[in-house]
Amino acid sequence: QVQLQESGPGLVKPSGTLSLTCAVSGGSISSSNWWSWVRQPPGKGLEWIGEIYHSGSTNYNPSLKSRVTISVDKSKNQFSLKLSSVTAADTAVYYCARGRQLGYYYYMDVWGKGTTVTVSS
Amino acid sequence: QSALTQPRSVSGSPGQSVTISCTGTSSDVGGYNYVSWYQQHPGKAPKLMIYDVSKRPSGVPDRFSGSKSGNTASLTISGLQAEDEADYYCCSYAGSAYVFGTGTKVTVL
């Protein structure tokens, strides 16, 4: 079965760029799925960041769109997140997830374990 | 795009039923039948419990059910069990984007 694993620096300086990668195993990133990033600040709720299809098509949360870039590397079977101009408010657990078509639309049915990113000098 | 509104907490005794509401707008919950619900235990990743408003993925107990009326979706847990104690989040398609609910903590008394 498909498994996802997030990786990247756990500490990012304010005004810097947060960069994370999600490795996909047990399946191909080129399958008919969308691949998402979701974050959760400490003690708070979930926030959808954006998604990418293997073709490179993307959709982003309007509130983060100006700072977010999601890309895919089919040769490495992984996808990545870049969030620029970070502040302490971007401190969160970051999850990657697979968006699979179930029923009439796509739903996040497989999730990584999450990785904690702290923004601090 | 604002977070969908959920009650902060609900509680019930084992065997009882609890219902969690999720209120949005005509641009999200009310506009599409693409509502899902996620269960999250402390320190764990979310788990998909309901999709397409009322369908259950394989392996999810049938005591979990979903519904929708207008701009409000609901998740009902019947026959509450100790392992159902967790945070629950609704999620709706909102036109090329997704929006999550504020989250509800379910406590089993």
How would DSSP label each residue in B29-81? TTT-S-EEEEEE-TTS--EEEEBTTTB--TTS-TTEEEEEETTEEEEEE-S--
* Other Cβ atoms closer than 10 A to A83: 24
DSSP state letters, B90-101: EEEE-SSSEEEB
pLDDT bucket at A43, cuts 50 / 70 / 90: very high
The mean per-residue pLDDT over the stretch A28-38 comes to 95
At residue A4, does pLDDT exceed 90?
A: yes
What does the pLDDT read at residue A7? 98
Q: Please state, for a pLDDT cut of 70, what percent of chain B lies above it.
A: 100
Compute the average pLDDT of residues A111-120.
98
Environment class of residue A25 by beta-carbon count within 10 Å: exposed (0-12), middle (13-18) or buried (19+)?
exposed
pLDDT higher than 90, residue B1: no
What pLDDT shows up at residue B48?
Answer: 98
Q: Does B55 touch chain A (CB under 8 A)?
A: yes
Kindly determine whether residue A46 and residue B100, on different chains, have CB atoms separated by under 8 Å. Answer: yes
Min Cα distance A103 → chain B (Å) is: 7
- Cβ of B36 and A59 within 8 Å? no
Mean pLDDT taken over chain A: 97
Listed residue (A105, A62, A66) closest to A85, CA to CA:
A66
Q: What is the pLDDT of residue B15?
A: 97
Chain A residues near residue B4 by CB distance under 8 angstroms: none
Q: How far is B45 from chain A (nearest CA, A)?
A: 6
- What distance in Å separates residue A17's CA from the closest CA in chain B? 23
With an 8 Å Cβ cutoff, are A46 and B57 in contact? no
- Scanning A57-86 for CB atoms below 8 A from B yields 59-63
Using DSSP's 3-state secondary structure scheme, residue A88 falls into helix
Mean per-residue pLDDT for B38-66?
97
Is some CB atom of chain B closer than 8 A to the CB atom of A42?
no
Residue B56: pLDDT band with limits 50, 70, 90: very high
Q: Residue B108 above 90 pLDDT? A: yes
User: How far apart (Å, rounded) are the C-alpha atoms in residues A30 and B62?
Assistant: 33
Q: Residue A40's pLDDT is what?
A: 98
Question: For the stretch B60-99, what's the b/e string if a residue is b when 16 or more beta carbons lie within 10 angstroms of its beta carbon?
Answer: beeebbbebeebbbbbebeebeeebbbbbbbbbbbeebbb
Query: What pLDDT score does A91 carry?
Result: 98
Residue of B nearest to A94 (CA): B45
What does the DSSP 8-state code read for residue A90? G
> B104: exposed, middle or buried (C-beta count within 10 Å: 0-12, 13-18, 19+)?
buried
Burial class for A1, CB neighbours closer than 10 Å (0-12, 13-18, 19+) = exposed
